[in-house]
Structures are given as structure tokens and as C-alpha cells.
Amino acid sequence: MLNAHAVLGLEPEYSVERAKTFAVARMLENAWSIPLKRAFRLAEEVLALPGDEAEWRIVAEDGLTTLSVDRNRVLSRFAATLSFALEGYSERRSGRPRRKGSTGIAAAREYGVDVSLLESSLERTPAERLRRLDCDAAFIGGMKMVDP
């Protein structure tokens, strides 16, 4: 929002009306690739329609292209989004809910897993871990297969 305010040369203002104008402008910008400055002016026109007019139209200079906005649909979508934002709605995450108060290592330890090797590895720097990995790879690469 701060960047959009700067592009438009506006003082940052956080109000429902300004958010509504930005929502319509972003819709125009994304759907029709209209630059933000022009989209913001057009959004103001859309929102300034009298209450009984639901459709806003503009015809391009060539007369071949018409841009049409269903104001009621846009405002309905905005109202739903605003309601979700004000109520703290968030989508459900997939999977099991996380247990509270237990990290992964603590949970593994509680389950009976020996995590000492993991902890000792995490105490090393990444460079030390890579050197250890290279040594292990060289050792495994030097092993010979013996037939039983």
C-alpha cells in the first residue's frame, strides 16, 4: 500500500473507502493491464456511480473495445474480503494440527529416539558438516564389494 500511495502521490490513508478504491483499481490493473495511476482514476469513477447504477462502461478511442465493470459484484467481493480481514479469518492448514509446547527434537526424545548424533552434528558449522560428508563419501567410495 505504501508503494501504491507513493506512485499515486497520495498521503498514506487507511480507511475503508480508500481500501475500496484500491481494490477496484487493482482489479482493473490486473484484469486489463491498466497502469495504476489510470486504474485509480477509473476506480474513483466506478465508485462515484449513483446508487441505482450497477454497470460502469468506458469505450476506447478506437470504438472497438469496451471496458465494463459490474460495480455491485466488485463491492460484494470487497465486502467479503473486508469481513474476513476484520474477523481474523485464515484458511485452515492441511494436515494435523501442531502440538503445543513440543519442538520436533523434544517430541522425538519423548518418543524414545536417540537424538545425540543429530545434536552433535548441529553443533558443527556448515563447513565442518560438509567436510565430514566429503570424508564419509570418500570412505564409502573406496569400499570394495566382496562376494560371499
Which pTM value belongs to this model?
0.53
pLDDT by residue (tens digit) across 63-117?
Answer: 777 778 888 888 888 898 888 888 776 677 778 776 666 678 888 888 899 999 8
Reading the block at residue 84, the C-alpha cell is 474476513
**How far, in Å, CA of 60 to CA of 58, rounded?**
7
Asked if residue 45 has pLDDT above 70, the reply is: yes
Confidence at residue 101, expressed as pLDDT on a 0 to 100 scale: 65
Confidence at residue 65, expressed as pLDDT on a 0 to 100 scale: 77
Give the mean model confidence (pLDDT) for residues 49-69.
78
**Three-state secondary-structure class, residue 145:** coil
**How far, in Å, CA of 132 to CA of 80, rounded?**
55
Average pLDDT, rounded, for the chain: 83
Element (H, E) at 21: helix 16-32
DSSP line for 60-93: -TTSS-EEEEEHHHHHHHHHHHHHHHHHT--PPP
